[in-house]
Every structure is written in structure tokens, then in C-alpha cells.
């Protein structure tokens, strides 16, 4: 199996040559993750507790203004997330507005969205029509009963599957499925997911579980590591490693030997990719985060609402990017969980 491909150098998009965002470690920041709500209609047991409390939301026009400031600094890809982004009213207006923006080089932005898929069946086509490029759907099981136990919503599997198919029909391709694996919880789904990816013609990505949950579930033993996933999928059908699509690709890609189906493994715990990180995050209440695991947030919404000009917002973004952490410290002594869980940061 494994033909190993060398990891390409740090992302250096064309925009950096003009005036793009670059952090103190030489990484080009071209990827904005924007959370449009931290409300969610699922209560995935490894992610959320029962509490409803959230940090709040900005107005759609405020997100649009901030995205415009980022794009003017070299952002090339915007991923909308949450919470559950499809719960957010005005989402179509926001996508339409972002789709009208151009990169520093006059190209279209790539606009992606991460969703649990529950409302996707009816939303896929309207989102495509206003300019969404593609979707990633989160699914942590392919067994309907296990799925409903994880999401705590009866009938959720059927809804999400219909959403995945609607996204394909709408042309939001490639449709990717993200699955977070926890040992003793859903790791029995690995082989079934392999079959599912092949049958549905989607790109499946397994993600290692990170210490970002609301409860206290995480421990190194709960993480299902890349080598085990590859070994078990290889029993379904031999795998071949595929080259990365681009230099900041977070997933290691594999194809099945018969050419049907693609698997990716995102291994932030066992194979961190911080050296290639090109991301910055904006939370639903307008705080900039330079890393999922940041201990500090930067209140750009506060500045904006107090009357900052566009130039002042851009300066603040540049200063914030400059503070981006070199790497996360998961699993190291003294590691501190961030003050917010994944659902409130924006996954």
C-alpha cells in the first residue's frame, strides 16, 4: 500500500505577493472560517451538553462587512459554519453577498459550508443558486440507530442522507462527509463508512477527536488514530495514498485500489498540520480566533460596532494574524482547553 508523498511547502498564494495576510511564522492566511450562529438543532453527545446558552450572533450585514475586509486582505476561501449554519436566517443573503466579492486577483471566492445536513434537502439548491461552491456534511455513523443516539434526534439519519443526495443533485460537489471517531462509541462504523463512501460516491473524511467538547470526554485513549483507520479500511479493499490537492491540505488522502471512493484522514492529534495552517476564525459574536485552541480572542465586532473604519478593521486583522500561535499543544503537559467548545467557536 502506502506510496508516501512529500508534504509540499507552506502555502504561498499569489495574493501574498500583493498585500496578503501572512503571520509571524511565514504562513499565508487565505482561509476564513465564519460561524453564523452557535445554535444547533443537534445535541451530539460528544460535542454538547443539554444547555442552550450561546454567545450570540451579529447581523448578516455585519458579517458581510467583515468578510469584505478579510477578502480585501487576501482571503480566498470562506467556510460558513456554526453551530448549525442552516438555522441562521439571512444565510442566503450572506452567501449571495460573499459570492459577489472577488479575491485580490479578481477571481471568484470559494464558498464552502459545513452542516449537519438536517435542513439540507430543501436548502441545497437555493444555496447553490446564490453562489455556494460546495458543502461538507457531518455524519458520525451510517447505522440509523447509532446516528440518532449520537445526535439525540430521532429520524436524523434519514434526513441527513436525503440532504447529502440533494446536495449532489444540486451540484454542490464534491460533497464531503466528515466523521469524528471516538473509541468504543462509533469506531465500529469505520468499515461501514468505507462501503458507504463507495456506494454514495462521496469523499469521506475521518477526523480525530480533539479536546473541544463541552463535557470532559477527551483523553488520548478515546482518539482513533490514522494508522488504525487505514489498516481497518484496507481490509474492506486495499488503499493507495493519493497526492495532496494543495499545499495546505489538512487531510491525507487515500483511494480504494479499484478507483471507487475516496477517504481522507484529518489527524490533528497524531499528525498535527499547524505548520501548514492557513486559517483564521470569526465566531458568531464577532471574535477573531487565530487557532481552535487559542486562549485569547480578538473583539473585532466590538471595534466595528464602536465605529471603526474599514482601514482600522484591516489593520486590526493584520495585527491579530500576526499573533497566530505556532501550533497547538494537545496531549502535552500543561495543555489548556480553550474557553469555548467547538460548537461556540465554529467547527
* Among positions 31, 213, 262, 297, the unique one binding ligand SAM when judged by CB under 6 A: 213
Tell me 208's DSSP state.
E
Give me the least distance between CB of 71 and ligand SAM, in Å please: 22
Distance from C-alpha of 131 to C-alpha of 134, rounded to nearest angstrom:
9
C-alpha to C-alpha distance for 289 and 135, rounded to whole angstroms = 23
Using CB under 6 A, pick the residue from 114, 133, 294, 320 that binds ligand SAM. 114
264 binds ligand SAM (CB under 6 A): no
Does residue 13 belong to the site contacting ligand SAM (CB under 6 A)? no
Residue 290 contacts ligand SAM per CB under 6 A: no
* Whole-Å CA distances, 193 to 109, 184, 205, 215: 31, 16, 10, 26
Label each residue of 57-108 as H, E or C: CCCHHHHHHHHHHHHCCCCCEEEEECCCHHHCCCHHHHHHHHHCCECCCCCE
Smallest gap, in angstroms, from Cβ of residue 284 to ligand SAM?
Answer: 11
Using CB under 6 A as the binding rule, whether residue 115 contacts ligand SAM is answered as yes
For residue 288, give the nearest of 69, 14, 12, 46 by alpha carbon.
69
Closest CA to 84 of 54, 118, 128: 118
Q: Which is nearer to ligand SAM, 32 or 69 (CB)?
A: 32
Instruction: Tell me if 338 contacts ligand SAM by CB under 6 A.
Output: no
161 or 210: whose CB is closer to ligand SAM? 210
End-to-end CA distance of the chain: 32
- List the one residue from 34, 75, 77, 81 that touches ligand SAM (CB under 6 A): 81
Nearer residue to ligand SAM within complex by CB, 47 or 132 = 47
Stretch of 78-86, 158-166, 237-245, 251-259 lying at the interface with ligand SAM (CB under 6 A): 78-86
- At closest approach, how far in Å is the CB of 238 from ligand SAM? 28
Q: What is the CA radius of gyration of the chain?
A: 19
- 162 three-class SS: helix
Site string for ligand SAM, 179-208 (x = CB under 6 A): -x--------------------------x-
Smallest gap, in angstroms, from Cβ of residue 87 to ligand SAM?
Answer: 9
Alpha-carbon dihedral angle through residues 119, 124, 127, 131, given to the nearest 10 degrees: 150
- Of 78 and 343, which CB lies nearer to ligand SAM in the complex structure? 343
Among 151, 178, 189, 283, binds ligand SAM (CB under 6 A): 178
Task: Give the C-alpha separation, 303 to 307, whole Å.
Answer: 7
Out of 37, 103, 138, 186, which residue is the one contacting ligand SAM (CB under 6 A)? 138
Residue numbers 15-74 binding ligand SAM by CB under 6 A: 40, 47
- Does residue 112 touch ligand SAM according to CB under 6 A? no
Three-class secondary structure of residue 31 per DSSP: strand
Q: Is 212 in the site for ligand SAM (CB under 6 A)?
A: yes
Residue from 185, 193, 209, 254 touching ligand SAM (CB under 6 A): that is 209
Q: Looking at beta carbons only, is 219 or 245 nearer to ligand SAM?
A: 219
Tell me if 347 contacts ligand SAM by CB under 6 A.
Answer: yes
- Cell for 128? 447553490
Closest CB to ligand SAM: residue number: 347
Q: β-strands 251-256, 239-242: how paired?
A: antiparallel
With respect to ligand SAM, which residue has the nearer C-beta, 219 or 309? 219
Task: Extract the runs of DSSP E, i.e. beta strands, from the chain.
Answer: 21-22, 28-29, 31-35, 77-81, 110-115, 134-138, 176-181, 203-208, 239-242, 251-256, 262-266, 279-282, 288-289
Interface residue list for ligand SAM (CB under 6 A): 40, 47, 81-82, 84, 114-116, 138, 178, 180, 207, 209-210, 212-213, 342-343, 347
Amino acid at each position: 500500500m502506502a506510496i508516501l508523498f512529500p508534504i509540499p511547502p507552506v502555502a504561498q498564494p499569489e495574493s501574498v505577493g500583493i498585500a496578503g495576510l501572512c503571520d509571524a511564522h511565514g504562513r499565508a492566511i487565505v482561509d476564513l472560517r465564519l460561524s453564523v450562529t452557535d445554535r444547533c438543532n443537534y445535541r451530539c453527545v460528544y460535542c454538547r451538553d443539554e444547555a442552550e446558552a450561546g454567545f450570540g450572533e451579529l447581523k448578516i450585514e455585519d458579517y458581510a462587512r467583515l468578510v469584505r475586509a478579510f477578502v480585501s486582505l487576501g482571503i480566498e476561501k470562506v467556510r460558513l459554519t456554526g453551530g448549525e449554519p442552516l438555522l441562521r436566517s439571512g444565510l442566503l443573503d450572506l452567501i449571495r453577498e460573499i459570492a459577489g466579492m472577488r479575491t485580490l486577483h479578481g477571481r471568484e471566492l470559494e464558498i464552502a459550508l459545513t452542516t449537519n445536513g438536517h435542513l439540507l434537502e430543501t436548502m441545497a439548491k437555493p444555496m447553490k443558486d446564490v453562489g455556494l461552491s460546495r458543502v461538507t456534511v457531518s455524519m458520525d455513523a451510517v447505522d440509523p440507530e447509532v446516528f440518532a443516539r449520537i445526535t439525540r434526534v430521532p429520524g436524523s439519519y434519514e434526513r441527513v442522507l436525503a440532504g447529502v443526495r440533494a446536495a449532489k443533485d444540486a451540484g454542490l460537489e464534491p460533497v464531503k462527509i466528515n466523521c469524528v471517531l471516538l473509541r468504543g462509541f462509533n469506531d465500529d462504523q469505520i468499515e461501514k463508512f468505507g462501503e458507504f463512501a463507495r456506494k454514495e460516491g462521496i469523499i469521506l473524511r475521518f477526523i480525530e477527536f480533539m479536546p473541544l467538547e463541552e463535557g470532559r470526554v477527551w483523553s488520548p485513549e478515546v482518539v482513533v488514530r490514522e494508522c488504525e483507520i487505514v489498516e481497518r479500511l484496507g481490509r474492506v479493499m486495499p488503499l493507495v495514498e493519493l497526492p495532496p490537492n494543495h499545499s495546505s491540505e489538512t487531510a491525507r488522502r487515500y483511494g480504494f485500489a479499484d478507483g471507487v471512493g475516496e477517504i481522507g484522514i484529518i489527524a490533528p492529534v497524531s499528525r498535527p498540520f499547524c505548520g501548514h495552517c492557513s486559517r483564521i476564525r470569526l465566531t458568531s459574536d464577532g471574535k477573531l480566533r487565530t487557532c481552535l485552541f487559542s486562549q485569547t480572542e480578538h473583539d473585532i465586532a466590538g471595534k466595528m460596532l464602536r465605529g471603526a473604519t474599514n482601514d482600522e478593521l484591516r489593520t486590526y486583522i493584520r495585527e491579530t494574524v500576526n499573533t497566530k500561535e505556532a501550533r497547538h499543544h494537545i496531549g502535552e503537559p500543561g495543555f489548556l482547553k480553550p474557553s469555548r467548545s467547538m460548537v461556540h467557536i465554529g467547527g
